[in-house]
A = this chain, B = another copy of it.
Amino acid sequence: MGKTARETFRVPADLASAADLAAIDPRARPIGPRDKSTAAQELAELGERLDTLQEAHYAEATAGGPRAVLLVLQGMDTSGKGGVIRSVGGLFNPQGLRIATFKKPTDEELRHHFLWRVRRHVPTPGHIGIFDRSHYEDVLIARVDSLVPEDVWRRRYTEIAQFEAELDAQGITILKCMLHISPKEQLERLLARLDDPAKRWKHNPADIDARRNWPAYQEAYAEALRRTDTDAAPWYVIPSDRKWYRNWAIAALLAETLAVVDPRFPKPTYDVDAERARLAAGPTH
């Protein structure tokens, strides 16, 4: 047996700085498919497994089970958060999916604790939540752009770890993926957005400002990963310069994670034979 996706992509325990992050190759393919067409085939197979697991997960909650799954997606602009939602999120039955996109906080959100808006989107039992950006923005852009004083964002690492431990204790399995791209790949993707009239709406001039702060962001990511990688809420670094590899890797992580959750179809709370008899007795109209 080769290594699992959970072992392979888990953030290195000794990751300490932006340099360590830069040492991870965004084009690496340490396990899994070597090319796009194999990846498409494997993704379809993973989709079937995810479908079965998700249905049992959803069914379990209808009988009162508390469990849910939360996938947190973080990454620089163009790293593919939207692409993962489309390609990997699209493998699930939308009934059991809950997507939450965290944009620039509103005035109301800013008047609350930074976790207030996040708590409102925690997936309910039986659901698979996907966070497109998350509370990690509050130690990323908030830090790089000095949106709050340093002592405030510094305190947040502990608050986040506590929050995630709390979710874990209530039955929510968390997996956090950093979509790791190279600055060169980002440049190409930003230019591609400007070139294609059907993609221009995705461009935000602020993305170029963020790009100029690349080293500061990588430092902020490195510290966030180091301070909040726990067994209850592990961080994975996903090589994301190749979109098809990124999608495969996250689908594989989800399939392994759901297999560990091991959801079960609930036992009926009614008498199956009695129900059959009631149906047989009823009017047929």
Contacts and interface: CB of A to CB of B under 8 A. Distances in A.
Interface in A52-94: 55-56, 59, 62-63, 82, 85-86, 89-90, 92-94
Contacts of A85: 93-95
Given A82-B95, A85-B94, A203 B279 contact: no
Interface string A203-235: 101001001101100000000000000000000
Contact of A212 (B89, B194, B202, B283): B283
A265 B194 CA distance: 13
Contacts of A208: 275, 278-279, 282
A276 B93 contact: no
B203 A132 contact: no
A159 to B, nearest CB: 28
Contacts of A63: 201
A60 B6 CA distance: 38
Interface stretch (A7-15, A137-145, A184-192, A248-256): A184-192
A266 B202 CA distance: 10
Contact of A93 (B86, B95, B202): B86
Interface string A45-57: 0000000000110
Given A86-B94, A284-B187, A201 B62 contact: yes
B215 A265 contact: no
A39 interface: no
A2 interface: no
B82 A203 contact: no
A interface secondary structure, majority: helix
B284 A184 contact: yes
Nearest to A272: B194
Nearest to A197: B265
A92 B284 CA distance: 38
A97 interface: yes
Minimum-distance CB pairs A-B, first 9 = A183-B285, A59-B201, A89-B94, A200-B268, A86-B93, A214-B285, A85-B95, A208-B278, A205-B270
Given A56-B198, A200-B272, A203-B270, 16 more contacts: A62-B201, A63-B201, A82-B95, A94-B94, A94-B99, A95-B132, A183-B284, A187-B279, A194-B275, A194-B279, A197-B265, A200-B265, A201-B265, A201-B266, A205-B270, A205-B278
Interface of A: 55-56, 59, 62-63, 82, 85-86, 89-90, 92-95, 97, 99, 101, 130, 132, 183-184, 187, 190-191, 194, 197-198, 200-203, 205, 208, 211-212, 214-215, 265-266, 268, 270, 272, 275-276, 278-279, 282-285
5 contacts: A56-B198, A89-B94, A95-B101, A187-B284, A194-B272
